[in-house]
């Protein structure tokens, strides 16, 4: 174990890896500071650059983009009141009023320190939780795995977006798209409609880029007309770095609670930083002695929301490392980057590639320190990023997406698929379908099918899914997540403040 | 005249019900399209030969998935029809679609440009095709003025020829060179 740890540390602390991570950290912060540019998109754009790197080096760079991205969203949230990423929505509630009240530097510093401590706490939980969970996961059979995937998909569908049924439809469409091409057991071609383009199946990174990035960029063009009051960014900002660090540490209960909320939410498939950000804020408000001050620029609100969203970074890696199930789109890309290097991600990852897993733990810690140093040293420069007009960002990022999709297999056919999937993603987005369940469906589809067929290989008896206790538990949890989701929608309807079309 | 003018709150309610009906109509179309496609795919999957080695063959999982999708779409479509009736009935489909397209005209223009770009990429090569795409897309978004043209030409040059050089020389990732012009 110690050998593996030192091997991982040796690779992460190599000079070139640290330089790449530093660039990744800056890129993540800059990307997320641009309103409308999500952490997912930043990671997608990083992916092709890591193809030529060693697996751990590549994943370390992506983790630094990830950690930097969660913090970068804070900049436009605090100064412009626009969440740079969906995971910094709750940050605007207090950071923006604080900035408007003449303390923009304090708001930014609070967010940066809270993000830093949130990431560190989540990494500690990851180190403690992932290895034992992986040992248990290795003993799970195909019955339990299939039921776990059913649970993961129902929980994603019920947590993401405004409508449970559209979430379920999106998830099942993803599973359906994954069946195109050779079947995962025997390699028999299916649903290819005699088209060479579909014969190898849909590469899920192309689906991911098309669904998330292209649709988001096309959507951005429509809202580009809304002018932002750039005068909100003051010329001189006092960051009060060390004073604010003490201020954050003086709130240990809020910091630890919000980070743990982030870890738990991050570990749940589909429930990423955006939910953790809101939930941690809500918990801080509920347990505060002065809840009426929330929303007016209170430090507790900024600390809770930023610690919450940053802690999902470590939390999301728990199911990825121990079960091979990505908790979010970002984790799915991290998984893809390992698969590109021929590393199979699953419960055996920690047993077969211990150096890689320990390296990931170290990289996450190093990335959070880098984010802190970069933010403290050059926050003033990043503020200028919010001024870049969308006319430059949207087409350029689109080109980067094309490069990412092409560089994966050097196949023009992938680009045609990208164009088609991008249009589907944009239309689904316009129609308010959540996109995360679709992408997770594409990723989990082959795993679900393989386990289902293995589970029924001996006698084809479906009741076995209900007679094996852990499998039955996951299926019961899946049903429960759907029932709870319907119940909460029903309650919102009764109160009269729910989304009118939440069910459908 | 004033007696015939609806009160603002009532007018808003009518407008929002109409908007909801329009959105719901668009979703209904999507449920029908996905539902029909799911039924077709389930039928195609069921025609795949069964396996000798296992109870479930290559077609079983897709058949299961597309059947579930068809059932979900049917449920969603029924609920959608009920909602449309609740919100004042079927809006004029052509008008609703035209309005939907009009709001998103720049997005679709950019998408059309992307399709053309992907189509000519293998012929013109990355640098040249990208230069054209970036230049037109930037001007589409920002509008054509002397300033935006100069800015767009510079940005297009940097992110087409510059990006190609960066990927080829630094990352060893070689982008399409083109058939007609090998840039």
pLDDT band at B6 (very low <50, low <70, confident <90, very high): very low
Q: Give the span between the Cα atoms of B56 and A122, in whole angstroms.
A: 42
Q: Give the span between the Cα atoms of B32 and B73, in whole angstroms.
A: 7
What is the β-pairing status of strands A181-182 and A189-190?
antiparallel
Would you say residue B19 lies in a domain?
A: yes
When computed from its CA atoms, the radius of gyration of chain A, rounded to whole angstroms, is 22
A218 contact residues in B (CB cutoff 8 A): 104, 107, 110-111
How far does the CA of residue A305 sit from the closest CA of chain B (Å)? Answer: 33
Give the H or E element holding residue A277: helix A273-286
Tens of pLDDT, residues A291-302: 888 888 888 989
- Backbone φ/ψ region at A389: left (φ over 0), alpha (ψ -120 to 50), beta: beta
Whether residues B111 and B75 fall in one domain? no
Would you say residue B177 lies in a domain?
A: no
What is the mean predicted confidence (pLDDT) over A301-330? 84
Whether residues B70 and B18 fall in one domain? yes
Q: Give the span between the Cα atoms of B72 and A240, in whole angstroms.
A: 54
Name the token pair of A47: 């992916």
Whether residues B23 and B43 fall in one domain? yes
Q: Give the span between the Cα atoms of B162 and A147, in whole angstroms.
A: 49
Say whether pLDDT at A230 is over 60. no
Q: Which residue has the tokens 């994603």?
A: A156
Whether residues B24 and B97 fall in one domain? yes
How far does the CA of residue A115 sit from the closest CA of chain B (Å)? Answer: 31
Q: What is the pLDDT, as a whole number, of residue A476? A: 93
How far does the CA of residue B12 sit from the closest CA of chain A (Å)? Answer: 16
What is the mean predicted confidence (pLDDT) over A408-421? 88
**Residues facing A441 on adjacent strands:** none
| B146: Cα within 13 Å, side-chain hemisphere | 0
Say whether pLDDT at B90 is over 60. yes
Backbone angles phi, psi at A108, to 5 degrees: -65, -45
Across the interface, do A426 and B107 touch by the CB < 8 Å criterion? yes
Supply the pTM of this predicted model.
Answer: 0.75
Q: Which residue has the tokens 């076995």?
A: A464
> What chain A residue is nearest to B122 in terms of C-alpha separation?
A412
Would you say residue A417 lies in a domain?
A: yes
Q: What is the pLDDT, as a whole number, of residue A405? A: 82
Structural domain of A259: 2-495
What is the mean predicted confidence (pLDDT) over A283-308? 85
Q: Compare CB distances from A503 to B58, B79, B122 and report the shortest one's residue.
A: B79
pLDDT band at A311 (very low <50, low <70, confident <90, very high): confident
Q: Give the span between the Cα atoms of A216 and A195, in whole angstroms.
A: 28
Q: What is the pLDDT, as a whole number, of residue B128? A: 92
Would you say residue A502 lies in a domain?
A: no
Residues 80-139 of B with CB under 8 A from A: 80, 83, 100, 103-104, 106-107, 110-111, 114-115, 117-118, 121-122, 130, 133-134, 137-138
**Residues facing A181 on adjacent strands:** A190
Q: Give the span between the Cα atoms of B150 and B138, in whole angstroms.
A: 11
Q: What is the pLDDT, as a whole number, of residue A160? A: 65
Whether residues B136 and B77 fall in one domain? no
Residues 162-221 of A with CB under 8 A from B: 165-166, 168-169, 172-173, 175-176, 179, 183, 185-186, 188, 190-191, 214, 217-219, 221
Q: What is the pLDDT, as a whole number, of residue A382? A: 67
Helix pair angle (A91-100, A299-323), 10° resolution? 150
pLDDT band at A172 (very low <50, low <70, confident <90, very high): very high
Burial of residue B179, with CB atoms counted within 10 A of its CB: 0-12 exposed, 13-18 middle, 19 or more buried: exposed
Sequential DSSP letters for A348-415: THHHH-HHHHHHHHHHHHHHHHHHHHHHHHHHHHHGGGGGS-HHHHHHHHHHHHHHHHHHHHT-HHHH
Say whether pLDDT at A222 is over 80. no
Would you say residue B44 lies in a domain?
A: yes
How high is the mean pLDDT of chain A? 81
How high is the mean pLDDT of chain B? 82
Would you say residue A112 lies in a domain?
A: yes
Whether residues B89 and B47 fall in one domain? yes
Helices (H) and strands (E) in chain B, counts: 7, 0
A431 contact residues in B (CB cutoff 8 A): 23, 26-27, 30
DSSP tag of A268 = S
Structural domain of B115: 105-169
| B133: Cα within 13 Å, side-chain hemisphere | 30
- Backbone φ/ψ region at B136: left (φ over 0), alpha (ψ -120 to 50), beta: alpha
> What chain B residue is nearest to A408 in terms of C-alpha separation?
B173
Q: What is the pLDDT, as a whole number, of residue A385? A: 64
Q: What is the pLDDT, as a whole number, of residue B49? A: 81
Would you say residue A208 lies in a domain?
A: yes
Whether residues B129 and B79 fall in one domain? no
pLDDT band at B4 (very low <50, low <70, confident <90, very high): very low
Q: What is the pLDDT, as a whole number, of residue B105? A: 85
Say whether pLDDT at A497 is over 90. no
Q: What is the pLDDT, as a whole number, of residue A129? A: 82
Tens of pLDDT, residues A322-372: 888 877 778 888 888 888 877 888 778 888 888 888 899 899 899 999 988
Q: How many domains does chain B have?
A: 2
By percentage, how much of chain A surpasses pLDDT 70? 88
Q: How many domains does chain A have?
A: 1
Pick the range with the lowest mean pLDDT from A172-181, A191-200, A422-431, B151-160: A191-200
Contacts of A19 (CB under 8 A, 6+ apart): none
Contact A43, A197 (CB under 8 A): no
A179 contact residues in B (CB cutoff 8 A): 45, 61-62, 65
pLDDT band at B93 (very low <50, low <70, confident <90, very high): low
- Contact A432/B at CB under 8 A: yes
Dihedral, CA atoms, B174, B179, B181, B183, nearest 10 degrees?
Answer: 0
- Looking at per-residue pLDDT, the higher value among A465 and A153 belongs to A465
> What chain A residue is nearest to B142 in terms of C-alpha separation?
A391
Whether residues B92 and B109 fall in one domain? no
Would you say residue A500 lies in a domain?
A: no
- Looking at per-residue pLDDT, the higher value among B54 and A430 belongs to A430
Highest mean pLDDT among A35-44, A344-353, A359-368, A438-447 belongs to A359-368
Across the interface, do B163 and A172 touch by the CB < 8 Å criterion? no
Q: What is the pLDDT, as a whole number, of residue B114? A: 94
Q: Which of B103, B138, B159 is the last residue of a domain?
A: B103
Q: Give the span between the Cα atoms of B65 and A175, in whole angstroms.
A: 7
Highest mean pLDDT among A22-36, A179-193, A261-275, B8-22 belongs to A179-193
Q: What is the pLDDT, as a whole number, of residue A500? A: 42
Q: What is the pLDDT, as a whole number, of residue A40? A: 78
By percentage, how much of chain A surpasses pLDDT 90? 12
Tens of pLDDT, residues A468-495: 888 899 899 889 888 888 887 777 777 6
pLDDT band at A82 (very low <50, low <70, confident <90, very high): low
Q: What is the pLDDT, as a whole number, of residue A384? A: 67
Whether residues B39 and B89 fall in one domain? yes
pLDDT band at A504 (very low <50, low <70, confident <90, very high): very low
Q: What is the pLDDT, as a whole number, of residue A64? A: 92
Q: Which of B48, B78, B103 is the last residue of a domain?
A: B103
- Looking at per-residue pLDDT, the higher value among A63 and A81 belongs to A63
Helix pair angle (A390-409, B146-157), 10° resolution? 20
How far does the CA of residue A419 sit from the closest CA of chain B (Å)? Answer: 6
Name the token pair of B154: 């510079």
Say whether pLDDT at A67 is over 80. yes
ipTM of the complex in this document: 0.85
DSSP tag of B7 = P
Say whether pLDDT at A392 is over 60. yes
- Looking at per-residue pLDDT, the higher value among A47 and A498 belongs to A47
End-to-end Cα, chain B, rounded Å? 68
Picking from B39, B46, B44, B27, the residue whose alpha carbon sits closest to that of residue B91 is B27
Give the H or E element holding residue A1: none
Sequential DSSP letters for A450-503: HHHHHHTTTT--TTHHHHSHHHHHHHHHHHHHHHHHHHHHHHHHHHT-S-TTS-
Whether residues B98 and B157 fall in one domain? no
Please tell me whether residue A460 adopts helix, strand or coil conformation: coil
Across the interface, do A419 and B115 touch by the CB < 8 Å criterion? yes
Across the interface, do A457 and B107 touch by the CB < 8 Å criterion? no
- Looking at per-residue pLDDT, the higher value among A69 and A258 belongs to A258
Would you say residue B3 lies in a domain?
A: no
Pick the range with the lowest mean pLDDT from A267-281, A358-372, B103-117: A267-281
Whether residues B110 and B99 fall in one domain? no
Whether residues B113 and B142 fall in one domain? yes
Would you say residue A504 lies in a domain?
A: no
Say whether pLDDT at A100 is over 90. no
What is the mean predicted confidence (pLDDT) over A129-156? 79
């Amino acid at each position: 174990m110690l050998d593996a740890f030192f091997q991982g540390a040796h690779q992460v602390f190599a000079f070139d890896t640290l330089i790449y991570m530093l660039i990744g950290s800056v890129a993540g912060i800059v990307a997320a500071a641009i309103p409308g540019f999500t952490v997912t998109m930043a990671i997608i754009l990083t992916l092709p650059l890591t193809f030529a790197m060693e697996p751990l080096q590549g994943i370390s760079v992506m983790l630094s983009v990830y950690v930097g991205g969660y913090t970068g969203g804070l900049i436009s949230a605090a100064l412009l009141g626009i969440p740079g990423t969906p995971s910094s929505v709750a940050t605007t509630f207090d950071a923006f009023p604080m900035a408007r009240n003449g303390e923009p530097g304090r708001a930014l510093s609070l967010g940066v320190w809270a993000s830093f401590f949130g990431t560190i706490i989540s990494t500690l939980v990851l180190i403690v939780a992932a290895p034992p969970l992986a040992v248990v996961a290795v003993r799970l059979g195909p019955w339990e795995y299939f039921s776990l995937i059913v649970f993961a998909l129902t929980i994603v569908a019920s947590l993401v977006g405004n409508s449970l049924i559209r979430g379920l439809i999106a998830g099942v469409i993803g599973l359906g798209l994954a069946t195109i091409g050779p079947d995962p057991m025997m390699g028999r071609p299916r649903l290819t409609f005699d088209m060479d383009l579909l014969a190898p199946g849909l590469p899920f990174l192309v689906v991911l880029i098309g669904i998330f990035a292209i649709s988001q960029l096309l959507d951005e063009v429509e809202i580009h007309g809304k002018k932002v009051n750039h005068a909100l960014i003051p010329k001189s900002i006092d960051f009060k770095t060390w004073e604010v660090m003490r201020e954050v540490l003086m709130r240990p209960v809020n910091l630890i609670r919000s980070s743990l909320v982030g870890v738990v939410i991050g570990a749940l498939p589909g429930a990423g930083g955006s939910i953790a950000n809101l939930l941690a804020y809500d918990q801080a408000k509920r347990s505060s002695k002065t809840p009426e001050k929330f929303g007016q620029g209170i430090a507790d609100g900024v600390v809770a929301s930023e610690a919450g969203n940053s802690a999902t970074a470590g939390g999301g890696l728990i199911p990825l490392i121990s079960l091979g199930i990505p908790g979010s789109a970002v984790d799915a890309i991290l998984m893809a980057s390992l698969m590109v290097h021929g590393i199979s991600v699953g419960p055996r990852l920690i047993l077969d590639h211990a150096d890689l897993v320990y390296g990931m733990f170290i990289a996450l810690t190093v990335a959070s320190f880098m984010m802190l140093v970069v933010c403290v040293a050059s926050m003033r420069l990043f503020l200028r990023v919010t001024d870049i007009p969308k006319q430059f960002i949207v087409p350029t990022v689109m080109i980067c997406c094309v490069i990412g999709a092409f560089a994966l297999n050097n196949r023009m056919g992938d680009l045609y698929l990208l164009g088609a999937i991008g249009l589907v993603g944009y239309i689904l987005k316009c129609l308010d379908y959540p996109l995360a369940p679709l992408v997770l469906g594409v990723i989990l589809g082959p795993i679900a099918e393989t386990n289902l067929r293995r589970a029924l290989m001996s006698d084809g008896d479906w009741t076995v899914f209900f007679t094996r206790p852990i499998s039955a538990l996951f299926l019961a949890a899946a049903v429960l997540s759907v029932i709870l989701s319907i119940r909460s929608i029903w309650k919102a309807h009764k109160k009269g403040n729910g989304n009118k079309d939440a069910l459908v | 005249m004033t007696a015939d003018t609806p009160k603002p709150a009532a007018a808003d309610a009518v407008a929002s019900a109409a908007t909801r009906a329009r959105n719901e109509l668009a979703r209904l179309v999507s449920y029908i399209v996905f539902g029909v496609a799911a039924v077709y795919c389930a039928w195609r999957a069921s025609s795949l030969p069964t396996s000798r080695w296992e109870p479930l063959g290559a077609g079983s999982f897709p058949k299961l998935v597309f059947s579930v999708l068809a059932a979900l779409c049917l449920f969603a479509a029924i609920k959608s029809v009920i909602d449309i009736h609740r919100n004042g009935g079927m809006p004029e489909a052509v008008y609703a679609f035209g309005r939907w397209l009009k709001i998103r005209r720049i997005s679709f223009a950019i998408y059309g440009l992307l399709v053309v770009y992907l189509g000519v990429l293998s012929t013109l090569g990355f640098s040249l095709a990208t230069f054209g795409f970036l230049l037109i897309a930037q001007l589409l978004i920002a509008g054509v003025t002397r300033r935006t043209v100069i800015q767009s030409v510079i940005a297009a040059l940097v992110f087409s020829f510059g990006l190609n050089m960066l990927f080829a020389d630094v990352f060893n990732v070689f982008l399409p060179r083109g058939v007609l012009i090998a840039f």
